Structure 1
C-alpha cells in the first residue's frame, strides 16, 4: 500500500509541475495540472466500490495532502481545485460509511488515525470547513470507545485553544460544538443530546434546535422564553434578533395571543419584513384597521430614507395619491410605478417622465448615456404616446444641438 500511495503522489506532482511557471499555476492551466489528481481520485472511487475502504481513504488522503496546498500557488477562479477537494472528502466519507462494519479493529484504528492526523495538518489553517468535514468522518468510528475518547479529547483541545473573540473563531467553535452534538446524537440517548443543547444554548444554532424541539412538543411558553433570551443576547445582530421574533410570533400564534402577534408583526414590518403585513392586517377588524394603517404610514413617512416596505404597502392598498407623492420624491420610481398611476394621473405621469428624461439628458456626456436617455424616451412613448415623445425629442435636439452624438441618438427615435 505504501508503494501505491507514493506512486500516486508522484503522479499528482508530475502533472502539477508540468504547468507550474515561476512557482505559480495560471487559471487556464489548472484543469490540466490536476489531471493526475483526478486519475487517483478515480482509482479511489474504484477501491471504494470494490470494498477496499483502507485503500480508498488513503488515496483520497494522498490527493488532499497535495491539492489543498496547491491552493497557495494557483488561480482557482474556476473552482476546479476546490471541487477536487470536495470530491476527495465525499469519497472518503462514503468509503467509511460503506465499509465500517467490515473493518477489523486494527483497520479501524489505522484509518481513523490517518483521517484525524490529516484534519490536524496546518494546511487547513484558513480552510476550517474542510478540516471539520474530516473530523465529521471520524465520528463514524466513535462506536469504538477508545477512538471516541481520542476524538473527544482532540475536539476539546481545539475548543480550548481557539482565540476568545473573533468572527472566525466563533464560527469554528460553533462547528466543533456541532460535531460534539452529532457524536452524542449518534451514540448516546436523546436526553443526553438535549442536555448538551441546553448547555450550549448561547450558540444560536443550539438555541434554534431547542426552540424547534419545544415547538414540536407544543411547549410554546418555553419557546417564547428562549426567544426573549436570544433577543437580549444577540441584540447586536439584527438578523438573529429577527429570527427569534419570528419564532416568537409562531408561538404567540399557537397560543392564540393576538396582542403578542400584533406587536411582533408590527415590529417586523418596521424592520423591513413586508411578509408580516397581511398577517397583521388579518389580526384586526376592518373598522379598526384604518387607524392602524394610518399610524404605520405616518411612521414610515417620518423616516429620512424610503422603505421598500412602505412602497409595498401603498401598492398593496392601491393608494394612488401616496404613490404619486412617492414618485415626485423619488423620480426614477415612475418607470416602475406608472401602471398604478396612468389611468387617474396621466398628466402628472407625463410631467414626471419629462422631468426624468430632462434630468438624465443634462447628466449625459457620452454615447452610452445618450442611449440610456433614448431608452427612457421609448418607455415614455409607450406610456404617453407618440405626440408627447416627439415633443420631448424635438426639444432635446434644439437644446443639445452642439452635441452631435446625442442628436444622432435622438434622430434614431424619430
Structure 2
C-alpha cells in the first residue's frame, strides 16, 4: 500500500477509527528516527508505540504496533499515524516544517566527528552492553571471510527469531516484525557489501536471508506481510550483483552460475515457485555456452517433475521455464531456431503473443488472425475470459492492418458491447458522419441494456460523446450517486433535475451516516451541490439535516463548518 492512498488497502472500519484517532489528536508524538522510518506514540486505552517504514516512492514497506489487535494486518493506531505522517510530509512540501529529528541527527554527526578515536571506542563499548547494539556493531564492522560472515549472519537471524517464539515454536502475528530485525540487519550489510563491490559476499548474505526466512515463513503468522518484502529485496541484491556489467570475467560468472543453480534446486523452495523462478531467471542470463545450457536444462527437467501440484501451477511453471529456454536459445542458437521453439509452445499465452507479433511484423495477417482465433477457442475452453478478450484485440489489429473493414467493424462492435469504450471511438472512426448517423441508433439498445455496473459501462461515455444529455439524465436518475460524476454535463440544461438528484442523494447518504468521517462526506456532497450552482438547494439540505438530527453533535458540528462563496 502507498501513503498517498493507503485507505484503499485497509478495511474501511479500521480507516474510520484511525481517522477519528488522528482528528482527535491521539498521536502524541511522531519523529523520523532515520530516513523514511517513523516512530510514534498513540494514545488509546493505553499508550501504544507505532513504527512505520516507507520506501522512497512512499510505499509502506513495514509497520508495527505494540497494541494487542490481531484481527487484521493494520490497526487503527497505525492508520492514525499514517494520516499524521502524510500530513507532516505535505506540510514539509510547503516548506514550513522540517522532518522531525533532522536537526538532532546533523548535530550528532558534528558532535561525533569532533571526538577522538579512544572516546568513540569507549562510547561504543558502553552501548555494546546492549546485546542488540553489539550485534549491529559486529555485523557492520566485521572483517571475517565470506563463510564466517554468512554463518554469523545466519546465527543473528535465527537468534532474533528464536527470541520471539512461543513454547510451541510458533511466532504470532504481533511478534513477527520484531523477529525479522536480524534479517533486516543482514540485508543492510548485504547492500553495503554490494556498494563496496563485494558482489559474492553480497549474494551469499542475500541467499542466507532467503533461506532462513523461507523456513521461518512456515513457522509464523505473517499476515502483516513483513517477510516477503525482505525476500524480494534480497533478490534485488542478487540481481544487481550478478547482472552487473563490470562482473570480473568468466571465472566469477561461473561461480555465480554454480551457486545460484545449486540454490534453486534446494528443497526449501518447493512450494515457493515464484522465488525459485526468480533465482533460475538470473541463472539463465549467465548461460553463455552449451555446457551451461545443458546443466541448466538438467536442473529444469529435474525440478519440473515435482513442480506444480495443480494444472494451473504446472502451466505457470512450464511457461516461465520455457521463457528462460527461449532467452537462452535466442542468445546461443539464433532467432530462427527460437521462432521454431515459440511455434511449438503456443499453449503458453506469452508465446502465442510472440507468434502473433512475429506474423504481424512480416505482414502475414492471415496467420496472425488464425493464431488469435485459435487462442480464443483455447482460452474459452479453459474458462479465461480476460485472455479471450486479449486475442480478440490482437485479431482486431490484424483486421485493421490488412484493411478488412467489415470484419474490423463487426469485431469493434463486439468489443464495445463487451464493455470497452475505446472501441466506440475505433468504430466511429471507420464511418463518415452521414454513415454514423444511420449506424449509431442501432448500437444504443445493446449498450443501454448491457446490465454492466457503472465502472465497466461505456454507455454514459458514449452518451456524453454524442451529446445525448436527456438519455444521460435518465441514466443518472437510476443511480443518483452518479450525479457527482456527471453534473457538469447536465446542470446547464437540467438545473432543477440535477439539484433534486443531489438533494435525494444527500438525504440518503446522511440517513446511513454513523460517524464523523461519514458526516464529513455528507458535507462534501452539499458543497458540491453549491458548486454546481444549487446554493439555495444546499442551504435547504443543511437546514433539513439540522432539524432531522439534532442529537448528532458531530454532524451538527460538520454542518456548521460548511462554507461557500
| C-alpha spacing 1:305/1:58, structure 2 compared with 1 (3 Å) | closer
Instruction: Tell me which residue corresponds to 2:469.
Output: 320
| C-alpha spacing 1:372/1:35, structure 2 compared with 1 (3 Å) | closer
1:233 pairs with 350, 353, 378, which one? Answer: 378
- Measured after TM superposition, the shift of residue 357 of structure 1 is 1.9
Instruction: Tell me which residue corresponds to 1:397.
Output: 546
Q: How does 1:75-94 map to 2 (within 5 A)?
A: 76-77=225-226, 81-94=230-243
| C-alpha spacing 1:41/1:302, structure 2 compared with 1 (3 Å) | closer
- Measured after TM superposition, the shift of residue 197 of structure 1 is 0.5
Instruction: Tell me which residue corresponds to 2:66.
Output: none
Larger CA deviation: 402-411 vs 315-324: 402-411
> Within 1, Cα distance between the matches of 2:453 and 2:256?
59
> Within 1, Cα distance between the matches of 2:402 and 2:505?
51
Larger CA deviation: 228-237 vs 372-381: 372-381
| C-alpha spacing 1:225/1:400, structure 2 compared with 1 (3 Å) | same
> Within 1, Cα distance between the matches of 2:557 and 2:310?
61
| C-alpha spacing 1:383/1:92, structure 2 compared with 1 (3 Å) | closer
Q: Deviations over 1:59-99 (max 9, x none)?
A: 65445444544544575538651244223421452269834
| 3-state DSSP of counterpart to 2:180 | helix
Instruction: Tell me which residue corresponds to 1:15.
Output: 156
Superposed CA RMSD in Å reads 3.0
Instruction: Tell me which residue corresponds to 2:407.
Output: 260
| C-alpha spacing 1:237/1:116, structure 2 compared with 1 (3 Å) | same
2:484 pairs with 319, 335, 360, which one? Answer: 335
- Measured after TM superposition, the shift of residue 279 of structure 1 is 1.1
Larger CA deviation: 58-67 vs 171-180: 58-67
Q: Does 1:351 align with 2:500?
A: yes
- Measured after TM superposition, the shift of residue 40 of structure 1 is 4.5
2:325 pairs with 170, 180, 190, which one? Answer: 180
- Measured after TM superposition, the shift of residue 15 of structure 1 is 2.9
Kept in 2: contact 1:272–1:309 (CA 8 A): yes
Residue correspondences, number: 404
Kept in 1: contact 2:186–2:209 (CA 8 A): no
Kept in 2: contact 1:198–1:210 (CA 8 A): yes
> Within 2, Cα distance between the matches of 1:216 and 1:358?
58
Instruction: Tell me which residue corresponds to 1:6.
Output: 147
| C-alpha spacing 1:29/1:245, structure 2 compared with 1 (3 Å) | same
Instruction: Tell me which residue corresponds to 1:113.
Output: 258
> Within 1, Cα distance between the matches of 2:473 and 2:438?
22
Runs of 4+ with deviation above 6 angstroms? none
Instruction: Tell me which residue corresponds to 2:177.
Output: 27
Larger CA deviation: 150-159 vs 137-146: 137-146
| 3-state DSSP of counterpart to 2:458 | helix
- Measured after TM superposition, the shift of residue 381 of structure 1 is 2.0
Instruction: Tell me which residue corresponds to 1:271.
Output: 418
Instruction: Tell me which residue corresponds to 1:282.
Output: 429
| C-alpha spacing 1:83/1:231, structure 2 compared with 1 (3 Å) | closer
Kept in 2: contact 1:9–1:62 (CA 8 A): yes
| C-alpha spacing 1:400/1:170, structure 2 compared with 1 (3 Å) | same
Q: TM-score, normalised by structure 1?
A: 0.86
| C-alpha spacing 1:68/1:93, structure 2 compared with 1 (3 Å) | farther
| 3-state DSSP of counterpart to 1:26 | helix
| 3-state DSSP of counterpart to 2:419 | coil
Larger CA deviation: 200-209 vs 362-371: 362-371
- Measured after TM superposition, the shift of residue 185 of structure 1 is 0.9
Kept in 1: contact 2:150–2:204 (CA 8 A): no
Kept in 2: contact 1:112–1:138 (CA 8 A): yes
- Measured after TM superposition, the shift of residue 153 of structure 1 is 2.2
- Write 1 or 2 for the structure with the bigger share of strand: 2
2:284 pairs with 111, 115, 139, which one? Answer: 139
- Write 1 or 2 for the structure with the bigger share of helix: 1
Q: Deviations over 1:230-250 (max 9, x none)?
A: 010111212211211111111
**Ranges in structure 2 where 5+ consecutive residues have no aligned partner:** 1-143, 166-170
Kept in 2: contact 1:139–1:183 (CA 8 A): yes
> Within 2, Cα distance between the matches of 1:384 and 1:112?
69
Larger CA deviation: 323-332 vs 56-65: 56-65
| 3-state DSSP of counterpart to 1:304 | coil
- Measured after TM superposition, the shift of residue 272 of structure 1 is 1.7
Kept in 2: contact 1:56–1:95 (CA 8 A): no
| C-alpha spacing 1:61/1:390, structure 2 compared with 1 (3 Å) | closer
Q: How does 1:292-303 map to 2 (within 5 A)?
A: 292-303=439-450
| 3-state DSSP of counterpart to 1:34 | helix
Q: Deviations over 1:333-384 (max 9, x none)?
A: 1112111111111111122112212222333344443333222222222223
> Within 1, Cα distance between the matches of 2:287 and 2:541?
77
Q: Deviations over 1:237-272 (max 9, x none)?
A: 122112111111111111111111101111111122
2:186 pairs with 36, 40, 48, which one? Answer: 36
> Within 2, Cα distance between the matches of 1:161 and 1:369?
53
> Within 1, Cα distance between the matches of 2:556 and 2:492?
32
